[in-house]
Amino acid sequence: MPAQTLDGLKIRDEIFSELKQDVARLHAQGIRPGLAAVLVGDNPASHIYVKNKIAACEQIGVAHWLHSPPRNVSTDYMLQLVSDLNKDDNVDGILVQLPLPQQIDSKGVLEAVAPTKDVDGFHPVNLGKLVTNRPGLVACTPAGCMEILRRYQIPIEGTNAVVLGRSDIVGKPMALLLLHANATVTICHSKTRDLPEIVRRANILVAAMGKAGFVQPDWIGPGTAVLDVGTNKVTDPAEAARLLKNFLPRLEKFREKGSALVGDVHPDALHTAGFLSPVPGGVGPMTVTMLMSNTVKAARLRRTPSAAFVGK
């Protein structure tokens, strides 16, 4: 029996509906949440990502501004721009679209964003709050994974959870969120020994390594909930044939387009897992969704400081 699909698009629509109501209530109090996006240069993928984020703002009623410095901009210019946005009371969230050009000190720019406006959840202050389990702005992709688990009523407490990947953006915050939800968490990485055996013991698996089809179907035990964070563009026909041989419509689309998006989990895991987030359409839509959620939370916290965050 195929795994139950963890549909990120469906959950996105549910959360957007809730956020529209939250934003309407804030509007009634004279508060309009606002997001400032900073997009440097002309990276086509970055333009698409920012366009999608602005469209999400419009969908739920969040004000938005786009700053588009040229590709040759300096770190000093970026720091001044971030400083100006920190001081702008209309701006509740600041989004610096990555990657930045090489001449820019990316870490310095991200750390210059006020923690209260850090809707990406990347700032060390917000990461520290997550470590100590205090309310704050959490990195969007891990927060989206937690929403998927919660809304599909997949138990977390007492389970064995395995996180593949240890990045500051996904792997580490994901492990902390699962730990705070009372899972027993194992973080795996490129140096982990006996990886298949560790994965087989998982009740919840989060794959965020950036390797197309890396996790094999026979690594996944019956009933396991698999959240596939990977979005890998496959262009090699032999690799596409290996990964999609049992998904002929997807293979045919690959032959038409010359590329396909594949997760870190082999697509055949659909027949071994209990729950599986598809790529595309699973975790991906949740990243923008939680960016919107963080923006609304940031507005609530900044403008009504006594208000507690709802959720994490």
Whether 308 has a pLDDT exceeding 60, the answer reads no
Whether 309 has a pLDDT exceeding 60, the answer reads no
137 vs 147: CA distance, rounded Å: 14
Please identify which of the residues 53, 117, 172, 297 carries the catalytic annotation. Answer: 53
Whether 109 has a pLDDT exceeding 70, the answer reads yes
Query: Residue 1's pLDDT is what?
Result: 84
- Rg (C-alpha) for the chain, rounded Å, is 20
Whether 34 has a pLDDT exceeding 70, the answer reads yes
Please identify which of the residues 22, 92, 118, 120 carries the catalytic annotation. Answer: 120
User: Which phi and psi (to 5°) does residue 265 adopt?
Assistant: -100, 135
**In the chain, where are the structural domains located?**
28-117, 140-285
Determine whether 297 is an active site residue. no
Q: pLDDT (tens digit, 9 = 90+) per residue, 244-289?
A: 999 999 999 999 999 999 999 999 999 999 999 999 999 999 999 9
200 vs 106: CA distance, rounded Å: 37
Grade residue 306 by pLDDT with cuts at 50, 70 and 90: low
Query: Residue 280's pLDDT is what?
Result: 94
- Average model confidence (pLDDT) for the chain? 95
Query: Residue 310's pLDDT is what?
Result: 41
Determine whether 120 is an active site residue. yes
Please identify which of the residues 22, 97, 228, 268 carries the catalytic annotation. Answer: 97
Mean pLDDT of 305-311: 49
Query: Is 140-285 the same fold as 28-117?
Result: yes
Grade residue 302 by pLDDT with cuts at 50, 70 and 90: confident
Query: Residue 304's pLDDT is what?
Result: 72
Q: pLDDT (tens digit, 9 = 90+) per residue, 117-130?
A: 999 999 999 999 99
The separation between the first and the last C-alpha atoms of the chain, rounded to the nearest angstrom, is 34
Determine whether 80 is an active site residue. no
User: Which phi and psi (to 5°) does residue 96 adopt?
Assistant: -100, 110
Give the containing element (helix H, strand E) for 86: helix 75-87
User: Letter for the amino acid at 185?
Assistant: V
Mean pLDDT of 178-191: 97
Whether 161 has a pLDDT exceeding 90, the answer reads yes
Q: pLDDT (tens digit, 9 = 90+) per residue, 188-241?
A: 999 999 999 999 999 999 999 999 999 999 999 999 999 999 999 999 999 999
Whether 312 has a pLDDT exceeding 90, the answer reads no
39 vs 42: CA distance, rounded Å: 8
Class (C level, CATH) for 140-285: alpha beta
**Closest by Cα among 201, 233, 195 to 216:** 195
Q: What is the DSSP letter of 168?
A: T
**Closest by Cα among 249, 199, 253 to 228:** 199
239 vs 258: CA distance, rounded Å: 12
CATH architecture of the domain with residue range 28-117: 3-Layer(aba) Sandwich (3.40)
Question: Is there a cis peptide before residue 44, judged by omega within 30 degrees of 0?
Answer: no
β-strand 204-207 against 184-188: which pairing, if any?
Answer: unpaired
Query: Residue 307's pLDDT is what?
Result: 53
